[in-house]
Structure formats: structure tokens, C-alpha cells
A and B are shown apart, each in its own frame.
Chain A
């Protein structure tokens, strides 16, 4: 088991922001949905029905605990592993599935690989593949929020690997200098593809890096929704009170591969995974809800059934949607097509008509 660093500068206690059973149940439901989507999509990828997939299993408590502590008006600057955040924001799985396929109803018009979705209606900004680039952007948007004097924060999501990126350091530095209302939410899932956390940085914790930039960093158990919720709620309150940014290191474990193109057996042992799976965030919350009497066998089976149904219906609908119109290729490079793009578009249209290129 990759040992969590012990010398955290501060540790969120996870008690000051209590969650009601109703709220916990709705969080649990989204966690179960996220996990079930992961399992289903890994199999869809193996069947060749989607081209690629980035699983987030093991990180559900971190993501949904965080998302629940934010408000809808807060801007999310995601990496590509933030399915729990999108689902908590009520992005329907159908919309994600459309993006995984790249069909005519895909909100990003088939422009990106699976998992790189974007939903402006949900203040869920676009993910890209380069690591860490969203971090400085979240700080910039927070500077804009300061300029507009509105009660909002930006939250940016990244992994342990991204703490080595240029944008992490630039973003943390700018956030410290301008005391921006930004939450840096690091899901330390212990692995950046094949590189373990202890080879990523010699720092005892990732959270302690905040200290060098003049603000606070906290380590939380990312398998505990209470701890995560409390840390994010506290960070949000501080940000709105003008007390600046917070770095939160949520310690989790990536149960699955980095992506469907990755074989984790090359770099880590099954024993390591099994050890962490004992702390499976979904089992943990399920146990708690059953003990408190909030989750009966009946509720559990209804919930599982509803999740399965939603997933199957969404896949069916997304697979049944018309294919993307190839002519959309020439939209959105610029607000208006340049004469050159008009010319290329006309040529493309002719080649399609003549059957030289086929969608």
C-alpha cells in the first residue's frame, strides 16, 4: 500500500460541516452511478463501441464530496477524470455517452477523445489532455470573479502528477499573489500512469507545497466524503471571505488503469490495489448509511436497479443518435469562418459529394 505521507501541514477534521442523511444518500447514489458507468464503459471500450475511456473508480468520495460542497455557480476547471463532478452537477449520463461516441448530439461536436467533455450550462469548463493547463486558467477566472465582485469561487481538479507541471506552480503562485478565490483540488491517486507518488516529488505531502506560495494546504482522506466535504466547504468559505486560495490534497487510489490504453500490471501489484480496495469509498459510505439506518436493502436494490436502467437507456439512446455531420468540422475554429476556411470547406464538401472521402 502506498503510504499516505504523515507530515501534513494541516489536516481537515471533517466534523464542522455536517451532512444530513438525505444529502448523504444523494451523494451515495451519484457515487454508485459513477462506479457503474466506469464498469460499463470499460466493457464498451473492449467491445469497440467507444474508442477510449478514463476510469475514476476509487475517487468517487473525493469527487462527489468536493462537488457537493461547491455551489452550481462555482466554476469547475476539470482534468479528464472528473466524472463524479459532472454527474453531481446533474449532467445526464446520456450527454457523457454522446461525447464518448462523438455523435451528432455530442455537446463538443466530436472534437475530443472520450472524457474530455464540457458543459457550459453546468459551469463545467472544457478539459484538455495536457497536464495542469486548467490550473492557471482557474486562477485567471478567479481574478475575473474578483474584478466582478461576485460571490463565486473557481475549483480546479488535477492529480498528483500535475503538481510537477509548469501550470501548477504558476497557478499557485498567481493565486497566492492575488489571493484569488480558488480551490486547488488535487486527487492524489498515487499514480501518474506508471510513476508512483514518491517518485513525483520529494515533498512529504503535496499539500505542503501551498505553504511556499503563502496559503494553506490540507490533506484529507479522499475515501471519506465527510472529510472531503468539510475541507472543501471550509476552503469555499475562506475564499468568499477574501482569505484566498486553498490547496486540498485528497488521498485516494486509482483502482483501475490510467486509461483503457494502460496496463497497470506493468508497474504495480495486485496486493497494493487490494489493500486500497479495503478502503473503497463506496463500501465505506454504504456501511455508514446501513449502520445509521438510512439505507435499507430495499433502497439499495432500487437504487442499483435505477442506475443500471439509466445507464442502459442512455447507451441505447446515444448509440441510436445520428452520426456527426462531417461539415461541422469547419465550425468553431473561429467565430466566423475565414475566407481560407470557406475555401477548404467547399473543397471538403466537393470531395464528400464525389465520394473521394467518406465519413
Chain B
């Protein structure tokens, strides 16, 4: 166990995976000599050399297209997209190719690439360094989507991703890269996909969140507790596969649900989770499910503090669901 930040845990996870398996390699813009703009790949090139830590030309299409080719051949590439906002030139490779290779080849060509990308707002990044567009990838069959919220999960989910057999989108909440700190197990530590984490147990309502929304959700739960409202906070950890059983069980217990994400509301991940809860836990619900999300506008620069969900908004939504039923 060592105390570290979330971004350090990503770095430790990469070191561990590269140590374990010579087929693991890292590629992306500025990931080598520079160690990545957030330092997630710091030191890897010194340890493993430029053959396994590849500084690429500035082309997301090229990064993901070549990563797909490497994976088809049998390597385990971990590609970094510098910001999730810049992933779109590679969208064709991800959605049309990576996600479909195993299926379209009748199982002949598995294609296991891990794509790491820092996502989310709260860093004064404006419209092009702040977006949370995980829903695009959740909507594409064939991709797994993992989003850690703690240093331990960052390392554990990343190692699971790298040892998985399928493509994994690994979105890192850059807002809490350095503010989220905690103990991280040494060595080969893995957190299984599809298992939500109960951040805080509660009786009266369930708050579902992931990534950088876990701290404000926890803060809201603490504030509610002072008024005797017991909120359960569930960190979904992986959106695909989703721990539907845990979500349903929590709502069967509490009867109320608030779903939180930074992404815009319309067709966001919260819509899917709300639909699942409506389909599978309708008769346990005592109040409508509420979503606390970013607004259906592009991400703003000067107004990001009022765009992003915060503890106060989550708390207000929780009080609203408590008033009904």
C-alpha cells in the first residue's frame, strides 16, 4: 500500500502492466519524453524505451488506427488521447473498427485496445478541454467503458482493462487527478468490471454517480445526514458492463433515486440508468427519478462552476425526491 494521487495511480498501473507483459505498449501524443501532459506516463520511456512508449505524430486517427492494427497482431496497446475532447478524428476507428472487429470477423479477430482519455470539466478548460461524452461510447456495442473515481480504482480498473480481452474506453476524471488521494495496493491489483462500489450506505435514497461526481455526491450525502436523511452513494465504476443488479438492489431498498453526471442530460448515461430503474424497480419507487447533470448546451468556459453539478444541486435534488411519496 502506498498513498498517492489518482494520476499517480494511473502511472503505477501502467508501470505494473508493462512490467507484467512485454506485449503491453503505450502510444500517444507526448506520452514518451514529456511523460504526458498530465504526467500519467511519466518515467515509462526511461524504464521501457521508445519501442514500447511511442511518441506519435499528432493524429488521433493514426494513434487509434495503428493501435487497432497492433492489437489485431497480438500486442496490447494502451493508447492515450490527450483530452477526450480530441477523440473525434478517431471516432471512426473506435466505433466502426475497434468495437466491431470481433463481431464482424465472426470471432476470428479479437481487438483488444485500451484507450485512456482524461475527461470532464472543472479545470477551466473551456469547451474543448472539459467535455464528458462517455454516452457516445456506451451506446456503441462492443466497447467497455470504465471511469475510476479513486486512486485504488484507477490502478485496479486500469489493470483489469489492460488484461481484458475486449476494447476498453478508460476515462480519467482529470479534475480530481491530483485532489483524489488514497491508499493504493502495490503490485498486480485488479478491480473487476461490472461491480459497483458502495461509497456510503444509506436507507432513504440512492445517489448514483461516477468519476469526478463522486466527491460532490458524497458531500451532498454528508450534508443530508445532518438532517437525518440517509443517502446511499453508489459509484458505478464501469458503465459497460453496468452493475444493474447493484443499482436495482439499492433502489429496492431506498425507493428513491438521483442520478448524477457531468455530461449533458439529454440521452446522457443517466437516461439509460433511469430507464433501467423504471423497468426493473418501478414498484419500489416512491418518487420520480431525478437527474442532476450538465445542461444541454456546449460546455462553457466562464460559467463552468454553475454548469457542472455540485454538492448543493445534488442535495437539492435529493430533498426534492424525499418530499414525494
Contacts and interface: CB of A to CB of B under 8 A. Distances in A.
Contact of B57 (A75, A137, A140, A174): A174
B69 A137 contact: yes
B166 A334 contact: yes
Contact of B244 (A135, A173, A340): A340
Q: Which of A140, A170, A339 has the most CB of B within 10 A?
A: A140
A166 B89 contact: yes
Interface in B40-98: 51-52, 54, 56-57, 59, 61-62, 64-75, 77, 89, 92-93, 96-97
B245 A338 contact: no
Given A118-B105, A340-B241, A171 B65 contact: yes
B156 interface: no
Contacts of A77: 69
A189 interface: no
Nearest to B97: A133
Contact of B106 (A107, A136, A137, A144): A107
A79 B106 CA distance: 17
B62 A334 contact: no
Contacts of B97: 128, 130, 133, 137
Contacts of B297: none
Interface stretch (B107-115, B255-263, B301-309): B107-115
B96 A137 contact: no
B13 interface: no
Given A128-B97, A147-B25, A338-B241, A136 B142 contact: no
A332 interface: yes
On chain A, which size bracket covers the interface? Answer: 35 or more
B106 A109 contact: yes
Nearest to A146: B51
Nearest to A173: B57
B103 A140 contact: no
A335 B101 CA distance: 12
B163 to A, nearest CB: 12
B96 to A, nearest CB: 5
A112 B102 CA distance: 12
B72 A141 contact: yes
A323 B261 CA distance: 45
A334 B102 contact: yes
Interface in A82-128: 106-109, 111-112, 116, 118-120, 125-126, 128
B242 interface: yes
B62 A147 contact: no
Given A136-B62, A331-B107, A130 B92 contact: yes
Given A136-B93, A333-B142, A338-B240, A170 B110 contact: no
Contacts of B244: 339-340
Given A136-B69, A170-B59, A170-B62, A333 B108 contact: no
A167 B104 contact: no
B21 to A, nearest CB: 13
A143 interface: yes
Given A177-B57, A333-B142, A340-B244, A140 B67 contact: yes
Interface string B112-149: 00000000000000000000000000000110100000
B104 A170 contact: no
A283 to B, nearest CB: 36
Of B66, B96, B103, chain A has the most CB atoms within 10 Å of the CB of B66
Contacts of B96: 128, 130, 133
Most buried by A among B52, B70, B240: B70
A254 B110 CA distance: 33
Interface in A262-321: none
A333 B141 contact: yes
A154 B56 CA distance: 20
A144 B73 CA distance: 7
Contact of A339 (B25, B72, B141, B241): B241
Nearest to A338: B241
13 contacts: A112-B104, A116-B104, A118-B105, A118-B106, A141-B72, A143-B70, A147-B51, A167-B65, A177-B57, A334-B102, A334-B142, A334-B165, A335-B102
Given A130-B92, A140-B69, A170-B59, A120 B102 contact: no
Nearest to A343: B244
B72 A125 contact: yes
Contacts of B54: 143
A130 B99 CA distance: 14
A145 interface: yes
A166 B100 CA distance: 19
Given A133-B97, A170-B59, A335 B103 contact: no
B65 A128 contact: no
A170 B103 contact: no
Contacts of B106: 106-109, 111, 118, 332
